[in-house]
Amino acid sequence: MTVSSRGARSPMRALVLHAVADLRLDVVPRPEPAAGSALVRVGCCGVCGSDLPRIFTKGTYSFPRVCGHEFAGTVEAIGGDGEGVVAKAGAGASIAVGDRVAVFPLLWCGRCAACEVGKYVQCHDYDYLGSRSDGAFAEYVVAPLANLVRVPDGVSLEVAAMTEPAAVALHAVRQGGGTRPGESAAIFGSGPIGLMVAQWLRAMGASDVLLFDIDAPKLDVARRMAFPHVFDSRERDPVEVVRELTGGNGAHLTFDGAGVPPALIQALASARRGGRVVLLGNPSADVTLPTALISQLMRREVSIRGTWNSDYSACGNDDDWRTVLGAMADRTLDLEPLITHRVGLDAAIGLLEAMRDRREFYSKVLVRP
In this predicted model, what pLDDT tens digit does every residue of 255-300 receive, in sequence order?
A: 999 999 999 999 999 999 999 999 999 898 999 999 999 999 999 9
Per-residue pLDDT, 80 = 87
Co-location of 350 and 261 in the same domain: no
Residue 171 placed within a domain = no
**Phi/psi class of residue 118: alpha, beta or left (left: φ > 0; alpha: ψ in -120 to 50)?**
left
Residues with Cβ within 8 Å of 151's Cβ and at least 6 positions away in sequence, in order, are 72, 100, 101, 102, 157, 160, 325
Co-location of 322 and 300 in the same domain: no
Residue 172 placed within a domain = no
Per-residue pLDDT, 93 = 67
Q: Find out whether 106 and 173 touch, Cβ atoms under 8 Å.
A: no
Q: Rounded CA gap, 202 and 227, in Å?
A: 9
Q: For residue 247, what are the CA distances in angstroms to 171, 243, 244? A: 29, 6, 6
Co-location of 35 and 78 in the same domain: yes
Q: Rounded CA gap, 369 and 365, in Å?
A: 13
pTM score of the predicted model:
0.94
Instruction: Assign residue 289 the CATH number of its domain.
Output: 3.40.50.720
Co-location of 184 and 93 in the same domain: no
Q: For residue 81, what are the CA distances in angstroms to 77, 87, 143, 257, 359? A: 12, 10, 17, 46, 50
Per-residue pLDDT, 316 = 86
Co-location of 322 and 298 in the same domain: no
Co-location of 58 and 132 in the same domain: yes
Residue 357 placed within a domain = yes
Co-location of 214 and 281 in the same domain: yes
Co-location of 13 and 158 in the same domain: yes
Identify the domain boundary among 288, 306, 324: 306
Residue 363 placed within a domain = yes
Co-location of 275 and 198 in the same domain: yes
**The dihedral of CA 336, 308, 135, 99: what is its sign?**
negative
Alpha-carbon Rg for the chain, nearest whole angstrom, is: 21
Q: Find out whether 156 and 342 touch, Cβ atoms under 8 Å.
A: no
> CA dihedral in degrees (273, 276, 280, 284; nearest 10)?
30
Residue 41 placed within a domain = yes
Per-residue pLDDT, 82 = 43
Identify the domain boundary among 285, 306, 327: 306
Q: Find out whether 271 and 254 touch, Cβ atoms under 8 Å.
A: yes
Q: Rounded CA gap, 345 and 18, in Å?
A: 16
Identify the domain boundary among 266, 281, 306: 306
Q: How remote is the C-alpha of 191 from its chain's centroid?
A: 11
If one counts the domains in the chain, the total is 2
Per-residue pLDDT, 320 = 98
Co-location of 141 and 192 in the same domain: no
Residue 260 placed within a domain = yes
Co-location of 75 and 108 in the same domain: yes
Its domain, for residue 267, covers 177-306
Q: Which residues of the chain have pLDDT under 50?
A: 3-7, 82, 90-92
Q: Rounded CA gap, 187 and 258, in Å?
A: 9
